[in-house]
Structure formats: C-alpha cells, structure tokens
Amino acid sequence: MKKDFYLTRYALIIKKLESAPSTYAQIEEYLLNSFEFQDAEIKSYSMRTLQRDIREISNLFNLTIHNKKRRDNRYYIDSRPMMEVDEYNQKLLESFQVSNALNLHPDFSDFIFFESRKPTGLEHFYDLFFAIRNKRIVLFEHYNYKNKKMTSRKVHPLALKESKDRWYLIAVDTKDKTLKSFGLDRINHLSVTPQKFREKYKYNFREHFKNAFGVMNLTEQNPQKIVLKCSRHQGEYIRSFPLHQSQKEVKETPDDIYFEFFLHPTYDFRQEILSYGKEVKVMEPESLIREIRQSLSDSLQAYSED
C-alpha cells in the first residue's frame, strides 16, 4: 500500500459509510473499484489496513466508526462531530482529494485549471491563528481601500472568517474597544507580540455568523426573512449550490423557484443578488427591494452619464 495514499483512503471510506453501513467486503470492493485505487494501481486492501484506517479517521476527523451492532458485521459512522468541526472536516477532505490527484499525476496542468485570481494575505494566517489561540496582542498596518490610507492597529484577535475566497481577522480594536473585521489582504507589517490580553470576551461567533452572508457590520444583529423568486434556469443552480445555510425552497412553478432565507441583508448579499440580473428578484422584505431598486437605478444612471 502506498504510504502517501492514506488520505485518499480515509476520504473514500468516509464517503462509502456516509452513503450506507457496509461490511469489510463491501468497503474493499468499493475501494478497489474506485478510480483513485485504479489510478494508483492498488490491487488489495486488507482487514488490518481497514482497522488502522478507522483508528486514524477517528483521531484526525473526530469520527467514530463501529461495527457488530446487534450482530451486524457492517461498519457505520457512530457519531458526527459538531457542525463547525464537520465543516472543517469537509474542507480538509476536499483539499486532500485535490492534493492527492495532483501529487499522483505530475501532468495535471494539462487537465486541471485553477482560478487565476489568488487571494493575498494568507501568509499571515497561521501567525494570527496562533495569536488567537494564545490570546496574544497583535500589531499591524491596515490599508483602507475607501480613503486610501494606511493606519496602525493594535488589536485583540478573536477569530478568522472566510468569505468568497478572502480571509478576515475578527478582532477588538484597542483604540475604541470596537469589534471589527480586517481583510488579511490589506494587513502589512504584522507582529504577534509576547503580551497577552486579559479581557474575557463573550462573543459567540458561531451564532453571530450563522445568519451572515459574507462580511458584515459586526454590530448588526437584525437577521430577517428574505424571499427570492428565481427563474427556473437560475433556480436549479441555486438549489444545487445553496447561497446560505438557512436557504429553504418554499414554492415552485413551471417557470420559477422561490427560496426563503433568514439572514442579515448585508452589502455582500445585495451584491450577490445583483450579480444574477433579471434571473433573481427580491419578493420581501420591502426594505431590501428598495435597496436593490436603488442600486439598479444608480447603475443605469452611471451608464446614462456616459
């Protein structure tokens, strides 16, 4: 068994057991018939390897796999991690699968094409992650695109949030004691100081961001019901790749699909709606309808002035 193939095995085993409980023979057949095993020219998979993989899956992904439940020799996933850990696991598995495909085939550049736009600032990610876990005060310079100014910041880092392939630091600015977000791509001269902050903040970011779309004003706490009417064509895409975890399909006609959301109508969400043009229409609330209508009017006016 190839030593660098273990992550792919873990991903395949989890995928198999998530679809249905399976015996060792069924797991073995599934693995050996997978394209991953065929490409790697792996011809066998032993019970001993399965037992070792199960232990490692438990350690790495916090997933418990058992068998012999009520005289049943099938393996099954006995416990699932918390939602936030499960999201992390999903990202990790996706990364492993892509990475393994690239490592197995050096000629991947002839077949796999990545987005050419790359986010910047990721070189700060682990330093900030370390600072958050250890409650270290952080210093940096932050650039504001709107006023085109660089300002010095001293913050208490609390969390990291991803939005549309960009990462943001969530931190309390010591200057005004306000919770703010800072784009990692706009951070320069980062310094994680030896000094720890003693404040015990009680923010529940899991709850805070549950109703957020993209990056939001962190002082906002007014999620509301939003209903979108989507053309059949666009609705199928949104159905298969939901815009937000609160998305619910509430109505369907031969021409349209209606979706309901419960979230903050942030700037990012308004921009997402506008990006669909005539394919998506806001039905409620009235305040969001007015904002979208004003944005469309402003865009038309900008073209008229030319």
Give the predicted TM-score (pTM) of the model. 0.70
Q: State phi, psi for 103 to the nearest 5 degrees.
A: -70, -35
Greater pLDDT, 202 or 293: 293
Please state which of the ranges 24-28, 49-53, 58-62, 231-235 shows the lowest mean pLDDT.
Answer: 58-62
Whether the per-residue pLDDT at 154 is higher than 90: the answer is yes
Indicate where the chain has its CATH 3.30.70 domain(s).
224-305
Q: What is the pLDDT of residues 61-79, one digit of tens each?
A: 778 888 866 667 889 887 6
Amino acid at 193: T
Q: Report the topology of domain 122-203.
A: SH3 type barrels. (2.30.30)
CB atoms within 10 A of CB 61: 20
**Residue 161: helix, strand or coil by DSSP?**
strand
Q: How many residues are there in the chain? A: 306
Please state which of the ranges 149-163, 206-220, 278-292 shows the lowest mean pLDDT.
Answer: 206-220
Indicate where the chain has its CATH 1.10.10 domain(s).
3-110
The C-alpha angle 160, 90, 125, rounded to 5 degrees, equals 25
Average pLDDT of the residues in 5-34: 89
Please, what CATH class does the domain formed by 224-305 belong to? alpha beta
- What pLDDT is attached to residue 103? 67
- What pLDDT is attached to residue 162? 86
- What pLDDT is attached to residue 155? 97
The answer to whether 66 touches 54, Cβ cutoff 8 Å, is no
Give the whole-angstrom CA distance, residue 18 versus residue 98: 20
Q: Mean pLDDT in the chain?
A: 86
pLDDT band at 180, cuts 50/70/90? very high
The CATH number of the structural domain formed by 3-110 is 1.10.10
Greater pLDDT, 214 or 151: 151
- What pLDDT is attached to residue 205? 85
Indicate where the chain has its CATH 2.30.30 domain(s).
122-203
The answer to whether 282 touches 260, Cβ cutoff 8 Å, is no
Return the closest-CA partner of residue 244 out of 225, 257, 231: 225
Please state which of the ranges 5-19, 48-62, 92-106, 119-133 shows the lowest mean pLDDT.
Answer: 92-106
Greater pLDDT, 170 or 104: 170
Q: What is the pLDDT of residues 105-115, one digit of tens each?
A: 667 667 777 77
Cα torsion 82, 87, 90, 95: sign: negative
